[in-house]
């Protein structure tokens, strides 16, 4: 499954176009390497995501074949670490501004 679709399906990032934009800005790593939005996600991969003012390190427990119910989404991942990060306000757009661009 593509990285941007997995992030949406696992409910890490709310919308797929936003997940794509985050990946295109080199804010997502898979197993320590910067990943593009079309990169395949596999079981056991470690994702590092910088999204607005937070950093998340996540292990992929399962890659679904399609969409999953909201209740099952948390079973796809295991959060290893999460922390707030300082950001330059000009470097990131608010989510509403991202929606307007797309």
pLDDT in tens, 48-73: 999 888 899 999 999 998 888 988 88
- In 3D space, the residue among 31, 35, 43 whose CA is nearest the CA of residue 4 turns out to be 35
Give dist(CA 48, CA 39) in Å, integer: 14
pLDDT over 70 at 91, yes or no: no
Q: What is the value of pTM for the model shown?
A: 0.79
Q: Say what percent of the chain tops pLDDT 90.
A: 68
Number of neighbouring beta carbons within 10 Å of residue 85: 10
If 0-12 CB within 10 Å is exposed, 13-18 middle and 19+ buried, where does residue 20 land?
Answer: buried
pLDDT band at 88 (very low <50, low <70, confident <90, very high): low
Torsion, CA 51, CA 56, CA 57, CA 59, rounded to 10: -90
pLDDT band at 87 (very low <50, low <70, confident <90, very high): low
């Amino acid at each position: 499954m593509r990285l941007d679709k997995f992030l949406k399906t696992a409910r890490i990032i709310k919308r797929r176009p936003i997940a794509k934009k985050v990946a295109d800005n080199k804010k997502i790593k898979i197993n320590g390497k910067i990943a593009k939005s079309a990169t395949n996600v596999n079981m056991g991969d470690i994702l590092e995501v910088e999204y607005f003012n937070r950093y998340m390190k996540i292990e992929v427990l399962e890659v679904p074949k399609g969409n999953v119910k909201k209740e099952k989404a948390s079973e796809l991942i295991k959060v290893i670490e999460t922390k707030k990060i300082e950001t330059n306000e000009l470097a990131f757009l608010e989510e509403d501004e991202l929606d307007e661009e797309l």
